[in-house]
Amino acid sequence: MIDAPTIERLQRRRDELEAAMASPDGATSTHRIKTIRAEYRQLSDTLTLYHRFDSLRRQIADCRSLLLDNASDADMRALALSESAALEKQLPDAEKELLLALLPPDPIEERNIILEIRAGTGGEEAALFAGVLVRMYSRYAERRGWKISTLDASPSALGGFKEIILSVEGDRVYRDLRYESGVHRVQRVPETEAQGRIHTSAATVAILPEAEDIDEIDIPMEEIRLDLYRASGPGGQKVNKTESAVRLTHLPTGIVVQSQDERSQPRNKEKAMRVLRTRLLDHYREKAAAKTADARRSQIGTGDRSERIRTYNFPQNRITDHRIHLTLYRLDQVVEGDLDELIGVLRDQDMQCRLHVAMDMKTT
């Protein structure tokens, strides 16, 4: 349960972090500053929830004392009874929120991400749907004040994307977008369909927490094969007369990344290395998770790229998330970046799973 020593320890730690942020010598690197601020914010949120929970308990105790006081008149006792009932209804939710906040935070949830979207089954319609997803996430990023930029892209003939790799930077990006990995299926009448028939196609989304210096991912250059080629684009666009595009192959794992979005070969190599380090981090995390069979039990879905997670039905203006069995009839708003409700429910469900696992571990 929630005991006083735990709350006192959290309060002391928050005070230490507050002092560190106020001191000019409190942090010596950008990563350290970011880590301190993230922990301080998490502790502050937790303590706020505790104070709400504790206040409810105290108010309920006061009401019960009043009910037991023989000196209280009938009106006061009736008021105390009514207030006590209302407060007791709020207490379980307040306790649950506090217990969820007390769960150990994921150390990577504050990170920026590499967002990869690839057209799947469905040909050109799948590429157009990939473009819809790019717009959806771009507008959601704008709503959140995040910075989104293109690392590499392979446009399709009709304006969609065969593949696109984006960088998303900002406040708690991985925490909120981590549940988007998987297969997104679309049902709609394609622009290329003359007879009005509904087609089904799909695109794959991968959300990768971006590698940071603290990860110490060492990539010896002898383990990388570098290939240079001419950049290309639809209609012969881009500078394609020089070998500015870069392809990197990590020989031990077979991971291949490429970048052709910049006119400069060094800039393309820099972007490709950024994606390679992130994919290697994901590769090593997946291998570590595979060693413990229960590692995925506390998550919504598996994060597997092949898992079908969501269906977008345009004729019925319906979006369904298959992991949590949630259906909303406002697809038009969701594809314009209004993802708050979907992401909020996914986060809540995931936290509930983590809480149940934590409680099971305590009782075994």
Q: Which residue ranges in the chain fall short of pLDDT 50?
A: 235-239, 294-299, 302-303
Q: What is the pLDDT of residue 190?
A: 80
Q: What is the pLDDT of residue 272?
A: 92
Q: What is the pLDDT of residue 298?
A: 45
Q: What is the pLDDT of residue 82?
A: 92
Q: What is the pLDDT of residue 302?
A: 46
Q: What is the pLDDT of residue 86?
A: 94
Q: What is the pLDDT of residue 296?
A: 45
Q: What is the pLDDT of residue 340?
A: 95
Q: What is the pLDDT of residue 181?
A: 93
The 3 state secondary structure assigned to the chain is CCCHHHHHHHHHHHHHHHHHHHCCCCCCCHHHHHHHHHHHHHHHHHHHHHHHHHHHHHHHHHHHHHHHCCCCCHHHHHHHHHHHHHHHHHHHHHHHHHHHHCCCCCCCCCCCEEEEEEECCCHHHHHHHHHHHHHHHHHHHHHHCCEEEEEEEEECCCCCEEEEEEEEECCCHHHHHHHHCEEEEEEECCCCCCCCCCEEEEEEEEEEECCCHHHCCCCCHHHEEEEEECCCCHHHCCCCCCCCEEEEEECCCCEEEEECCCCCHHHHHHHHHHHHHHHHHHHHHHHHHHCCHHHHCCCCCCCCCCCEEEEEECCCCEEEECCCCEEECCHHHHCCCCCHHHHHHHHHHHHHHHHHHHHHHHHC
Domains and CATH numbers, the chain: 4-101 (1.20.58), 113-215+301-356 (3.30.70.1660), 221-289 (3.30.160.20)
